[in-house]
Amino acid sequence: MLVWKGILIGLSIAAPVGPIGVLCMKRTINQGRLYGFFAGLGAATADGLYGLIAAFGFDLITSGLLAQRFWMSLIGGLFLCYLGVQSIRSNAAPNAEAGMSRNTAAAYLTTFLLTITNPMTILSFLGIFAGLQVTGATTADSVLLVVGVFTGSMLWWLFLSIVIGAFRTTLSGGAMMWINRLSGLVLLGFGIFSLWQVIK
């Protein structure tokens, strides 16, 4: 069934550990499961949007996005560097994280923008959908597949936020500080690597 295929695609794209995963885990540790889940939901929305474009064969949109690959990668890389630096600097004081945004909308928008500015996402969907011979399918089939992609991605982020959230109460203030510093360095590393890829 196409919905289940979509769920598997969504899981396979969301599950690999990357900057989005690190950011969602950081949100969960610092702010709780709800914030971690909404951060993941932003990524799931972007995945669903790209899946929609790929499934319905919006060639004009796809070509336009790929034509702006340089700027999208540049913006995404700079944004990752900014988040990494902010994460490292926020640990200067024990309660610095409390001064950061405490609303779910900010958590959602951050990961949505990071995911949507990654041009490799649309390429991944185009490759997977072409392999499954989805492009050119009926509207109903395409909708079912895209719903599955969104659901699969959302389920992964829900699972991750629940699991990471279970360990949150066992962490001391010092441990959380070092986790934040480490996650900041990882995000900064991803950002620098992304910028290096752009320059290369």
Cα separation, 180 vs 148, whole angstroms: 33
Whether 13 has a pLDDT exceeding 60, the answer reads yes
* 139-147 contacts at long range (C-beta below 8 A, 24 or more positions apart): 139/56, 141/2, 142/52, 142/55, 142/56, 144/1, 144/2, 144/3, 144/6, 145/2, 145/3, 145/5, 145/6, 145/9, 145/51, 145/55, 146/6, 146/48, 146/51, 146/52, 146/55, 147/3, 147/6, 147/48
Question: Which of 21, 14, 46, 48 lies closest to 36, judged by CA?
Answer: 21
pLDDT for position 102:
58
> What is the 3-state secondary structure of 77-95?
HHHHHHHHHHHHHHCCCCC
Domain boundaries, the chain: 2-199
Least confident of 34-43, 66-75, 111-120: 66-75
Question: Which of 71, 19, 68, 20 lies closest to 44, judged by CA?
Answer: 20
Amino acid letter at 107? A
Share of the chain above pLDDT 90, in %: 8
pLDDT tens-digit profile of 83-93? Answer: 778 777 765 44
pLDDT for position 42:
92
pLDDT for position 66:
66
Which pLDDT band, with edges at 50, 70 and 90, does 175 fall under? low
Backbone angles phi, psi at 18, to 5 degrees: -150, -165
Tokens 């919006």 correspond to 58
Whether 39 has a pLDDT exceeding 80, the answer reads yes
Amino acid letter at 141? D
Tally Cβ neighbours within 10 Å of residue 98: 11
Contact 79, 200 (CB under 8 A): no
What is the pTM assigned to this prediction? Answer: 0.72
